[in-house]
Each structure stands twice: as C-alpha cells, then as structure tokens.
Structure 1
Amino acid sequence: MSEIRAVVFDMDGTILNTEMLYPKVTAEMLQRRGLKLTQGLTDAMMGRPAPVAFQAMIDWHDLADTIDILTRESEEIFADILEASLGLMPGFTELFKLLRQTNYPLAVCTSASRSAALDLLGRFNITPDLQFVIGGDEVQHGKPHPEIYLTAANRLGLSPAEIAVFEDSETGCKAAIDAGTYAIAVPGDHSRKHSFDGAQLIADTLHDRRIYDILELPSLD
C-alpha cells in the first residue's frame, strides 16, 4: 500500500489557471505606469504572498506606490479578468473526483489570502470536499518557507512524508520539499523553466499516469 495518506494542493496554477491570469493583471498595472512586464519580474512574484509579490514589483521598478495601493488596484483588475477567464487546470476534475472516492483527506495551502481562496474555490464547489484551506495570511512565513505545509501536516495529524503535495512553481515546490512532504511538481506553461530539484515527481499535467500510480488510484481508461 502507498505510504501517502493525504493530499494537499496548491491553488494558483495547480487547481486554478490563475497563475496565467496574474501576469495579465501585473502587465495592466505596469502599462498604466508606462512600464512593461518581464519574465524576470513574473518569476520573482510567482507563488509568493501578495504583499511580498507587490514589494518585489515596487523594488523591481522603483515604484512610488505602496503595497496597499497596488493591492486595491490589482483586485479591481483581477475581478474583471476572472469573469471571463477563470478555469480549472487540465486534469484536476478527474483527479479530484477519484481522490474523493478513495477517501483521501484533502486540503489546500495557498499563498493567496484565505478569503480569496474560499471565494475562488467556491466558484467550482471544491471547498465542501476539503478538510481545510490555509491561506498565506494565516502563516508567519510564506512560501518558499515550509511553514504552511508543516501546519497542514499538524492539522491532518500526519507526518509530512505521509502527505502528497501538488505544486506548480519553484517557490511552492521548495516549500513542500523543505517541509519533508512527497512533493509532486506540475509545471504549467508559466513555470516550465523553473527548477524543481528535490521533487519526487515532475508530472506532465495532472493527467500524468504516474500520479495515479503513486496514489494507487484506479485508471481513468
């Protein structure tokens, strides 16, 4: 039998396609200031709590704006983009269904605030099947620090090694690896060039047959 007894998902870019939407928000914010978004800044912001990400943006371009100003502006832009573009990542629906049927305890650990996560996940009726959601505003140290996954392990009453964690970014994967979990990296188009050294598996997508084998799930075929 598998030693994995619970599954924890990152949200942005792992469950939801939001990591592909955030750069659109950032690009719009910078365009308003006569600036352009680069891949370097995108990578520096990805997977981090909003205050840290916006501070990176301020430092990168020596902006006069405060974190609060950027947060409010981003929320307004993001709300418009969400209505047209929010969706689930390929393979999540099928995987999540089988995990529920197999009675794995399930949770989400995200750098987004807990309230934002509950809103986004609630749009797809995901939250009723979760043991809990931990937001980036509920831990002292955000990803890539392992605190959020160590907190999840404590809440689940399991050792980190008994928890499979799905992450799409280098920042998030490092948090999962350093916490001692079974880290499964699922890079998207936004993170294929990231380093996932230390991950037990680098999956192609959530459809990857190896994920099903590791979690001892029945075939979708």
Structure 2
Amino acid sequence: MAQRVDHEYDYLFKIVLIGDSGVGKSNILSRFTRNEFSLDSKSTIGVEFATKTIQVPLSLVNASKKLFQIEGKTVKAQIWDTAGQERYRAITSAYYRGAVGAFLIYDITKRQTFENIQRWLRELRDHADSNIVIMMAGNKSDLKHLRAVSTEDAESMAEKEGLSFLETSALEAINIDRAFQTILAEIFRIVSKKALAAQAAAAAASSGPRIQGKPINVADSGGSTKSSCCST
C-alpha cells in the first residue's frame, strides 16, 4: 500500500509485524505509535493496527549518478500487529496483502523464536509482494543477562537472507524509532525512484518521436557527375 494523499500526508505505507507469540510485537507497536509500554500485555487475537505520521528525508541518485536531495515528505505508517499463535495464521496471512514493509521479530532470550524466523520469512515471501522491504529485529535487548541468541548469529542470518537488522528494546525504547525510520526511508526511496522513472518516461513520451534520417548523396550514383559550362 503506497498511496499519494494530499494535505495531511504524502504517502501511506502498510507495515506488518510478524514473529512468534510473546516476542514483543504489540509493545513495539505501542512504543512507536504512542510511546507506551505495558508489562501486562496480552497475546494479540487476530490483527490489530495503529498509525503514526512522520517526516522522512531522502537522498536519491539519478540516472547520471549524481546525488540530489528530495524534500522531506510526510509519511503515514499503518502498522499491523499480527497474532503469532499457530491457530491464527490462516487468518493473518490475508493481511500481508498490500504491505510494503515487514518486521521479523524474535526474542533474544528465546532461541526457538529466532529459529522460527526462517518459517515466518517463508510465509512472508509466499503471501507478500516480492519487493517488500524486510527488517529483522531482535527484541528485549535490555535482558542481556538472559541472552540466548548472539548478535553475530542474527547478523549472519540477516546477511544470508538479504535483510537489514537491529536489536531493539520496547521496554527501554532502544532502537524502536530508528528501526521504523530506517524501513520507512527505504520504502520511500524505492517508491520515489519509481515515481521519478515514471515521470522521466512520461516526459520522453510527451516530447514526441525523434526524427531520424541519413545523408542523401545528390551525386549520380551510377557514374561520375558531369558539369556543363558556357564558353565564349
């Protein structure tokens, strides 16, 4: 979902949070959108969503490889928190439709939630658009003394799968804003480049077809040319 809208915001992007139950998806959502955290957070049933509007600056490289700056645009993030329980997976798979960004979230204190990232990634790639921007997030980084997943293991998986990666803490608000700003900026970069390419194509089409030709030899191709002159 990448939509131009006047006045209140320029773009609307749908982002989904996926991962096992209990990894902190709901608290990541509430920390980013409302700056709130609940120790008594309950498991999500079905799907919940919230929105937040931010300014996203962007630099792009044009066709001639020159860097130029695009003014910051107002982006409204529509963030969907999907249930992690197996019995809701058939329901939530439909909600991947239209998503342009996704967070794969695991709990750094629970190794199984990290190992299940591969399963969630397969499901995401089965149901979402092939161009979706994906970030992997290791949540609960404040519980370092209980760590079961090393940063190196996570970085290795992210590199192998072509994902960006951050460790976050919804409790202490560590890297939450940074994670969303990073993924929104990347989505914005892709959308803007497509818009610029479309504008360039439209401009080329509106200029009309180019007239091509070749030199014409006015000389007689069958033989040498003759010149006549007048003598007195």
* Interval containing the TM-score (normalised by the shorter chain): 0.3 to 0.5
| Structure 1 or 2: more strand by fraction | 2
TM-score normalised per structure 2: 0.31
TM-score normalised per structure 1: 0.32
| Structure 1 or 2: more helix by fraction | 1
The higher-RCO structure (CA 8 Å, 6+ apart) is 1
